[in-house]
Amino acid sequence: MTHTFPASLRRSFLGLLLLLLGTSAAQAQQYYNVLKYGARNDSTKLSTEGIRKAIAAASKAGGGTVYFPAGKYRTGPIHLKSNITIDIDAGAILYFSDNFDDYLPMVPTRYEGIDITSFSPLFYAYKAENITIKGRGIIDGQGKKWWDFAEGKSRASQDSKWQQEFFRLNKDILKPDLPGVIERGFMRPPFIQPMYCKNVRIEGITIRNSPFWTVNPEFCDNVTVTGVTINNPKSPNTDGINPESCRNVHISDCHISVGDDCITIKSGKDRAGRQMNVPAENYTITNCTMLSGHGGVVIGSEMSGGVKKITISNCVFDGTDRGIRIKTARGRGGVVEDIRVDNVVMKNIREQIIVLDMQYANSQPEPVSERTPRFRNIHFSNITAEGNQAGLLNGLSEMPIENVTFSNLNLDAKQGFTVREARNVAFHNVQVNTQIGPAVRAENAQQLRLDGLRGQVPAGAPLVELGNVAEAFVYNCFPALGTDTFLKLKGADTRGIVLQNNYLKALKTPITKGEEVKQPVEVTATEVPAAPERR
């Protein structure tokens, strides 16, 4: 019997067959070996042009993987296009040129939240989609010459040809936006800077000796940085990962040791940042180790577009200057909100373990306006740490820090927490062991809750010191043996202090008050020493 298929079914089958054959052919041709396009892997000459040709060929075909087999390459900047993957194999090292002329012509880029035209970044993409840099190889920015010139160590003139070109291309930038920078006129390039891109992935590679910020996506959506190692020596502004005004950013399984901050989240600076008004939002940072660096994870100080919905979890910081640092200043504007930090271990922190500082630049109070920054809804939990100071919350008199919680913290520090100009701050099950001063000192704060606070403090120091604090609820506390004073109160504006369910029986002096403190302390369900018998 002969079966006859309908013509429409035959056409559909033929179309599917052609589609599968076309897909197989495309897959077979998707790798573009840079050696076939003129690149050299024996470090004898610059391979910039060969790499450019390989990228152009892949782009012309609709996309593909530009492949670097093992070897040593010398190159200038690499500009990526949509649907391009850079695959740097194990044993391959890309040494980027330290000849500044190789990074001309200058391109649109950004510096501290301001649009400028300057040297091309080493890896650069502008308004591209679906770009990837991956592999087990190494990329080396050879940054020392850039660092020395920027710091004036090797600069013969303050008016080099590169500075003249920068001045020519940036003459319309207003000096108030970049005080001191326009006059200097020499902006080092970031290592990897995609701008206005979608679907960016950086995976597996080792990056070292960046001239400036290392991974710096600008205004990108859906950025993933995973399994990356960044090693920069002690060097100026060589931050690790600095996304600015990006959405949906995922940073995981990275190892970072740099000359500045390990990871910094930014969203524009001052007036220019407020005009752009593009927040940094929807970030997850997890399973990372941070060694040397000014900060482990930092937000700001350029945050004028706002920073929101950020989680930081399962990380280890060892040897950074600060742990978690959120900073801003009057004039920035913007809101930092909905931040969660959980399950973090920090050791050998040289300054503060946790910092929320709204006075990064000294300035006088001013009326609340669009220039006024805000910090609110920030939460820390399950942290073990050792450092110089447990924490600093430093708000503005006209705009206190709001709604901050610390839960399940175990901290050893030379000094404890200082809370200043803040409202609705809570400590739950927190232990702070100090060498100097109290575990928690609060000044000019409102609505403070201390629940289950514990700690070893030096002789003569109170566990808690409150100055000009309104409405504090202190409960479920069990001071360590040897503590002299549980609570010290001072300041004429101190009022509404409530102690409940605390065990203070072993203390010599549970509470001390300055003469200026007029309101009594409400004490309920609290064990205190018996009053001495009168004779």
Catalytic residues: 260, 294
Contact of 446 with 493, CB cutoff 8 Å: no
What is the DSSP track for 49-63?
HHHHHHHHHHHHTT-
| Token pair in block for residue 151 | 């710091």
CA distances for 481 relative to 413, 465, 523, angstroms: 19, 18, 21
Contact of 279 with 252, CB cutoff 8 Å: no
How far apart are alpha carbons 1 and 267 in whole angstroms?
A: 73
Q: Which residue has the tokens 């303050």?
A: 158
Sign of CA dihedral 290, 293, 295, 300: negative
Q: Cα–chain-centroid distance for residue 497?
A: 37
Residue (of 477, 532, 535, 492) closest to 508 by Cα position: 532
Which residues, other chains included, contact 486 with Cβ-Cβ below 8 Å and sequence gap of 6+? 462, 463, 464, 477, 479, 502, 504, 507, 510, 511
Omega into 194 within 30° of 0, i.e. cis?
Answer: no
How far apart are alpha carbons 328 and 312 in whole angstroms?
A: 19
Amino acid at 480: A
Q: What are phi and psi of 155, to 5 degrees?
A: -90, 115
Sign of CA dihedral 240, 222, 353, 318: negative
Q: Which residue has the tokens 């035209």?
A: 117
Q: Which SS3 state, helix, strand or coil, does residue 366 take?
A: coil
Q: What are phi and psi of 218, to 5 degrees?
A: -125, 120
How far apart are alpha carbons 220 and 198 in whole angstroms?
A: 6
How far apart are alpha carbons 458 and 455 in whole angstroms?
A: 10
Question: Rg of the chain's alpha carbons, rounded to an integer?
Answer: 28
Contact of 147 with 235, CB cutoff 8 Å: yes
Contact of 351 with 324, CB cutoff 8 Å: no
Provide the pairing of β-strand 401-451 with 462-475.
Answer: parallel
CA distances for 428 relative to 3, 459, 472, 510, angstroms: 78, 24, 14, 20
How far apart are alpha carbons 341 and 314 in whole angstroms?
A: 9
* Cross-strand partners of 295: 322
